[in-house]
Amino acid sequence: MSSALPYSAKGLLVLPHLRVQSANAISSQMTHGFPSITAFTGLMWALERKLTNTGVPLRLQKVGVICHHHQEQVNDGYMKTFRLTRNPVDRTGGTAAIVEEGRTHLDLTLVFQVQQKAGHGDDMPLLIQGNDDALAKLATKALQTLANMRVAGGSVLPSRPAPGRFTRPWLAVLPDDSEELNRNFRAWRRQWLPGYALVGRDDLMPVRLERLRQKRPDATTLDAWLDMSRFNYRAMQDSDGATGSRVHWHDPDRGKGSGWIVPIPVGYASLSDLHEPGKVLNARDGDTPMRFVESIYSMGEWIGPHRLDHLDALLWQAETDLERGVYRCRNGYIASDGPGEIDDDFYAYD
């Protein structure tokens, strides 16, 4: 669809060091600690709609997330618990039930791949080299708009200027030449340090499942996901096996260089057919078709931006398969030492 637009140039919108207070730390029924990537794709679409209403003709296509600092609001101990708030009394004067809510404070940099919309505002291309003043105004307008929005349920606070920290938003034109783009990306990624970017690691799941089935032939994809979601410490003896050699606790699947691997939700799979608007009682939106869904889980990795080779390795985009009822986010990261891309049929959506 983008090729039919009169302006096919793409840009990179960067909103650095956003301070987000009390964001949602419960990303799904089985994971916590950081908002789901679907929260940021939803933020991307909401920001695009608000920018359109203010006359900014940008289409936000992909989003990347770099976390510089996080502070989950939990009570320390052998078993960590969320710091919950007591709700006001109900209308009868009794104590209202406490709904468990997880919160976290974040310092984020959000990176959006953008493209100019056709038929909005001036009929002139904006994403062109040398248009620095106009691009700077667009970036500032995007930050001002985002400041009045919720980021994963959290409030955006003003950034704190600090030596060596880039806090000013910017919008750059992406060159068509791949070598020039990679050269520019190598310069941009240094601005996002220190920090960690969230990338997808779908390729790890088949490897772990195959390893589990060597010991347990009946192991399922869920077993592989749960096995990767925890530390599996075992008593390991030194390799020499000599008498009196020391025994130490070690996770053989999480050796040195294995990376910061985490379980993440990446989208939703349908549980029902698509219902016509207004057919489902108490639906939030009576004008939009709806269906019941459940979360799709995969694995992700927190990785330093300086270790990313190209821009697509950072960015996430939403994909929709209406026939299978799959709504999930994809990331372009491919590990240099991993098996690479895998067949989507590995995940049992049906």
Per-residue model confidence (pLDDT) at position 243: 57
Tokens 């220190």: give the residue.
194
Quick: pLDDT tens for 80-133. 788 877 777 777 877 777 677 888 999 999 999 999 887 655 567 777 777 888
Mean pLDDT of 48-68: 92
Share of the chain above pLDDT 90, in %: 41
Return the CA Rg of the chain: 23
Alpha helices in 189-243 (DSSP H): 204-213, 221-228
Whether the predicted pLDDT of 35 surpasses 60:
yes
Per-residue model confidence (pLDDT) at position 95: 72
How many Å apart are CA 105 and CA 318, to the nearest integer?
25
CA angle, 278 then 280 then 285, to 5° = 55
CA distances from 341 to 62, 325, 333 (A): 19, 22, 9
Mean model confidence pLDDT for the chain: 85
pLDDT tier, 72 (very low <50, low <70, confident <90, very high otherwise): confident
What are the structural domain ranges in the chain? 2-74+100-194, 204-301+317-346
Mean pLDDT of 134-151: 92
How many Å apart are CA 41 and CA 171, to the nearest integer?
19
Quick: pLDDT tens for 242-288. 555 678 888 888 877 788 899 999 999 999 888 888 888 888 888 88
